[in-house]
Amino acid sequence: MQGVWLIYGVACSTLHFIVACVIDCASWVADWTRYRIARFVVTSIGRTAPEIAASENEDVLRDCKLYQLHFERCTQRTQRDEVELAGFTLTHYRNKTNWIVLFPSHDKLWQDELQQLIALAYETKTNVCCFNYRGAGGSSGELHSEIEAIRDGREIVEGLITKTKIAAKNIMVAGREFGGQVAALTCGALHTIGKKVHLMCEDTAPSFTQWTQRANWYGRISAALFSYFGWQLNIQPAIRQMVGDAKVLLLTRQTTATQGEIAQLKQLRPTGIIHQHREDNDDRQAAWVKTVNNIKEIFQN
């Protein structure tokens, strides 16, 4: 009888060990798949921060001095898991009230956008900050889903409010393409807690499905797979929540946005829509001037 119980105990222990191994393997496969999908969505993940050559650094410092801007590298430590997000700030020597918090596109680092952001800070007379996503360009950690990107975005904005002691109405959260989707969802999360920041989205599709369809013919299939692992990026509810309480500025391009996307965005009734019809210099410059004027008007009101 004791032998039977011994065999029974060994069998139960073996079965428990096998089940635990299967669960651990399944969890590891799920985490690995989620991370690989995140790297497919946000292609800047894994990119190391490019070294800024001495000549380029001198150009940046010269431009900042010319435009009366102060450039500073900085980090934002997340309270949730103490991940270090690498970024920078551009501050005016005289005006430290209004801020633009920019989220990079899926394939960009803040280092790629620096010259354009210097021009944006100078033209709009606002301060600018930008941080790379988890695992990209010197930021630690790993990005697995849009929820993590939104939480990080919320901590960046809340950290800015705490550090500078400014009101939420003096902040505009902005981004292009994927960055615009993260910006919109971050704004939606902030509005739910009463922090009514403004929003600017450039060339941003209303949802992840529509964004992937721009890039490839199998976008709908890939979007269905990605949504299962936490990538939906539906910005429409967030913008509907914001309209009336804050300013929403949307920039679209005829060469990338479909008529259906533009119609969807118009139905959200944003504060303004700036549409670039062509990719020539004149139309690009006209869209830039309209954007700058709209940003100035938003912060003046």
Is the pLDDT at 229 greater than 80, yes or no?
A: no
Residue 65: pLDDT band (50, 70, 90) is confident
The answer as to whether 24 is a domain residue is no
Is the pLDDT at 44 greater than 90, yes or no?
A: no
- For 145, the token pair is 């889903």
Q: What is the CATH number of the domain that holds 139?
A: 3.40.50.1820
What residues pair up with 200 in beta bridges, in sequence order?
A: 174, 249
pLDDT digits (tens, 9 = 90+) for 177-227: 889 999 999 999 999 999 999 999 888 877 766 666 655 555 555 666 666
Rg (CA), the chain: 23
- For 224, the token pair is 């269905």
Cβ atoms 125, 95 nearer than 8 A: yes
Residue labelled with tokens 């941080």: 131
The answer as to whether 32 is a domain residue is no
Half-sphere exposure of 87 (CA within 13 A, CB side): 25
User: Between these two residues, 61 and 211, which has the higher pLDDT value?
Assistant: 61
- For 150, the token pair is 């939104």
pLDDT for 18: 77
User: CA torsion sign, 202 to 208 to 209 to 213?
Assistant: positive
Measured distance CA(53)–CA(120) in Å, rounded = 22
The answer as to whether 12 is a domain residue is no
| Average pLDDT of the residues in 21-49 | 65
The values of phi and psi at residue 126, to 5°, are -125, 160
Q: What are the start-end ranges of the H helices in the chain?
A: 2-41, 54-66, 110-124, 146-164, 178-191, 208-215, 219-228, 236-242, 259-267, 281-300
Q: How many CB atoms lie within 10 A of CB 149?
A: 25
The answer as to whether 1 is a domain residue is no
User: Between these two residues, 175 and 26, which has the higher pLDDT value?
Assistant: 175
pLDDT for 150: 93
The answer as to whether 16 is a domain residue is no
Residue labelled with tokens 């807690």: 193
The answer as to whether 144 is a domain residue is yes
What residues pair up with 91 in beta bridges, in sequence order?
A: 70
Domain count for the chain, please give it.
1
Dihedral in degrees, nearest 10, Cα atoms 120, 121, 122, 123: 40
Domain interval for residue 93 = 42-300
Q: Average per-residue pLDDT in the chain?
A: 79
The answer as to whether 156 is a domain residue is yes
The answer as to whether 9 is a domain residue is no
pLDDT for 269: 79
